[in-house]
Amino acid sequence: MTAPIASQLRTLGHLEVAEAQLAPLAIDGRRPALALSPDSPDAVAAAVGIAAEHGAAVAPRGSGTKVDLGNPPQRYDVALRLHTLDRILEYEPADLTVTVQAGVRLSAVQRRLAADGQFLALDPPHAAEATIGGILATNASGPGRLLYGSARDLVLGMRFATADGELAKTGGKVVKNVVGYDLNKMHIGALGTLGVLVEVTFKVAPLPRQERALWARFADLAEAHGFSGRLYRSQLAPRAVELLDAAAARQCALPGDAPWLVLFHAAGSPATVARQVSDAAQWAQADGATDCGQLDGDAHADLWTAVRALPGTSVLDGVRLKIATLPTEIVAVWEVLERAARSVNASLTRIAHAGSGITYGLFGAQNGHGLDLAAAATIVTAAQSVVLPSGGSVVVESCPVALKRHLDVWGPTRDDFPLMQALKAQFDPQGLFNPGRFLGRL
């Protein structure tokens, strides 16, 4: 199959077939037969159509910052590298909208918007390298989702290549246009299993005039959690409220010794920020903080860069979990994670987007030999036991490939899985897009 499909794809962009070129594009140890960097959205659609003719499995790829996410691919023939689609197509500052190609890096978009005093409210891990398409395909988010929401709240429209080699469009380019919004949502977080994103329109926001962080240390987890809840439920409208354990605080170079730390991100006018931080500092003292302080300027920027990066930290031969639950259940989840880590002699780092109930747990071996399969499975089972009964989710974002062969990293299928199967059958009847990598090994 490789020779016939290669000759057709070669006309659509830069084609790579050498093993040395393909090895870095491997997914869970499986390398593609070839890789194409298409030179236009039309070339993307044409490439998908050619792949469909040959029954070749296609994996869209951005910068590869989230390549560990998902189950091992059942087939992987063509790596569709979208880094060549890196243009900002249309920007209307007065309308608060921007249209970009899927391969452009978020950092490039932010630089362009900042020139007009605006920004795109996405702050995922690896924000400097991550591409727009990859961020949407994985539904990656960060601390700022508390105030601005996730990608599903920011996308107005998109274009994507369908399994029959055509370009389709959904949504629009104005903030009030909600036609097709559900179709936008369907592609976000689907790991490229329903189509290949080539173009996206977002609503953007004004940059705040001032930003400042308040950090507060606590000796008691329940007190720290209670303070975080007081912040995100208040009228202060924080941009972010983060809860960190001692290991996470060390990685973010935060001062103090107490084991639990809350971060409060204030943003707005100078007067607003001053009032936010003043009120938060008073509340921290009343709620039992042992120490607190403030950061602004470069120190503030460096702090939030570290906080955003932490959930994407690579844990060599370890396990990284993303847990979604009610914000009120974070303490119970953290306690279960700690017991699981102790039971298998693993290191543990925890950070939570306190207002949205998203916890990241990073487990690593303390003996330098990695977590064995039994230890990794124990950690996942422990997390699922406390989270799943209350309707939450546990996603294994990174783990040894051996563990992926024994469990679905997305967790058990839900009641809506038949609908997901029907959507996959409708949009990708041949199973060409990332086969096996999504929930239920779709």
Write the burial class of residue 202 (CB in 10 Å: 0-12 exposed, 13-18 middle, 19+ buried): buried
pLDDT of 271: 95
Residues 6+ apart with CB under 8 A from 110: 119, 120
Q: How far is it, in rounded angstroms, from Cα 329 to Cα 237?
A: 22
- Assigned token pair, 126: 């690896």
Q: How far is it, in rounded angstroms, from Cα 376 to Cα 365?
A: 10
Is residue 343 a contact partner of residue 380, using CB atoms and an 8 Å limit? no
For residue 197, the surrounding DSSP H or E stretch is strand 196-203
Query: Do the first three CATH levels of 210-310 and 313-404 match, i.e. the same topology?
Result: yes
- Written out in words, the top-level CATH class of the domain with range 2-83 is alpha beta
pLDDT of 366: 76
pLDDT of 368: 63
Architecture of domain 210-310: 2-Layer Sandwich (3.30)
Phi then psi for 200, rounded to 5 degrees? -140, 140
Architecture of domain 88-206: 2-Layer Sandwich (3.30)
Architecture of domain 313-404: 2-Layer Sandwich (3.30)
Helices (H) and strands (E) in the chain, counts: 16, 19
Closest listed residue to residue 322, CA positions, set 350, 291, 288: 350
- Assigned token pair, 250: 């060390």
Q: Give the mean pLDDT per block of 10 residues along the chain (442 residues).
A: 84 93 94 96 97 96 92 96 96 96 97 97 93 96 93 93 93 53 79 95 96 96 97 94 96 92 96 95 96 93 94 86 96 96 94 96 81 90 94 93 90 88 92 94 91
pLDDT of 178: 42
pLDDT of 1: 61
Q: Which amino acid appears at position 251 of this protein?
A: Q
Sorted by where each begins, the domain ranges of the chain are: 2-83, 88-206, 210-310, 313-404
Which residues are 197's β-sheet partners?
160
- DSSP for 336-393 reads HHHHHHHHTTEEEEEEEETTTTEEEEEEEESSSS---HHHHHHHHHHHHHHHGGGT-E
Is residue 263 a contact partner of residue 218, using CB atoms and an 8 Å limit? no
- DSSP for 218-280 reads ES-HHHHHHHHHHHHTSTT--SEEEEE-HHHHHHTT----SSEEEEEEEEESHHHHHHHHHHH
Residues 6+ apart with CB under 8 A from 319: 361, 362, 363, 371, 376, 379, 380, 396, 398, 399, 403
Is residue 132 a contact partner of residue 121, using CB atoms and an 8 Å limit? no
Q: How far is it, in rounded angstroms, from Cα 274 to Cα 147?
A: 18
- Assigned token pair, 305: 């860069």
Number of Cβ within a 10 Å radius of residue 4? 11
Q: How far is it, in rounded angstroms, from Cα 397 to Cα 345?
A: 21
pLDDT of 179: 44
